[in-house]
Amino acid sequence: MIGMREVVETFREPVVFIGRVAGVFPHLFHRRGLRRREFLYYLDLCGARSLPIVLAICYLMGLVLGFQAALQMRKVGTEIFVVDLVGFSVLKEFGPLMVAMIATGRAGSAFAAEIGTMKVDEEISALETMGISPAAYLVLPKMLSMLIALPVLTVFGDFAGIVGGLTVGVTVLDLPMAAYCSRTMEVLDSVTFLLGVVKSMVFAVLITLAGCYCGFRSSADAQGVGRAATSAVVSSIFLVVIADAVIAILYSFIGY
């Protein structure tokens, strides 16, 4: 039987963690506030190394979307609207979402496992003993690298998704490439594209926070690290989907 105290504690802990991370953000503006080496490492891990899989998955996503749309729209002779469907779906939803899912699998679990292992080795306690804030030392480089990597990956993912739709349009629907590109330019606008990129920044924050939080909360044994990694992935996906829904509603208020 879970008591009221545990329930309150369950919700209190993440809020405290967010507060702790927010409290160390001014460290970024100190001369030695950001560990440059770690920042580049995570940028490489979450960004550059994720690029091939992001391109492949987003291209295939655009391909599948275009193909399914083509099957239905061909029935009513509106093949050209495949461009609209693929373009808007990729830019507004699937681009940022698929990138976030890949980042969750690659970075979120890695963050949780890394911090969990440090906890097992009592490195976290050692940092605290030395007066170093674990949030500033461990979370900030990850957060900053994710805030850069995810939008860049989303840009690549959007491009790959549109190219996937273009492949279907040109090969399956026999649409001229110029007509497909012209229609894409006609129906999509830069604001839609930028809103998707902004969305990916929100996802970056959520994935980093969930991964690091699960790492910090892991029990000090090997099994605990495994559970923390799993929990980080599940929590990240859940939070990303919830945030996506909320952002979609917010965007609808401004007409997008």
List CB contacts of 80: < 8 A, sequence separation 6 or more.
Answer: 175, 179, 183
Positions 78 through 117 that interact with another protein (CB under 8 A) = 78, 81
3-state secondary structure of 31: coil
Nearer of residues 49 and 74 to another protein, judged by Cβ: 49
Nearer of residues 146 and 153 to another protein, judged by Cβ: 153
Nearer of residues 111 and 156 to another protein, judged by Cβ: 156
Task: Report the nearest approach of another protein to the CB of residue 190 (Å).
Answer: 5
What are the Cα distances from residue 191, in Å, to 91, 170, 184, 195, 256? Answer: 10, 26, 14, 6, 9
List CB contacts of 203: < 8 A, sequence separation 6 or more.
Answer: 96, 97, 99, 100, 103, 150, 240, 243, 244
Nearer of residues 25 and 88 to another protein, judged by Cβ: 88
- Judged by CB under 8 A, the stretch of 40-48, 112-120, 198-206, 214-222 that binds another protein is 40-48
Residue 242 lies near another protein (rule: CB under 8 A): no
End-to-end CA distance of the chain: 45
Residue 163 lies near another protein (rule: CB under 8 A): no
Residue 129 lies near another protein (rule: CB under 8 A): no
List CB contacts of 218: < 8 A, sequence separation 6 or more.
Answer: 112, 115, 116, 119, 120, 224, 225, 227, 228
Nearer of residues 43 and 97 to another protein, judged by Cβ: 43
Q: Using CB under 8 A, list all residues that contact another protein.
A: 40-41, 43-44, 47-49, 51, 76, 78, 81, 148-149, 151-153, 155-156, 158-159, 184-186, 188-194, 197
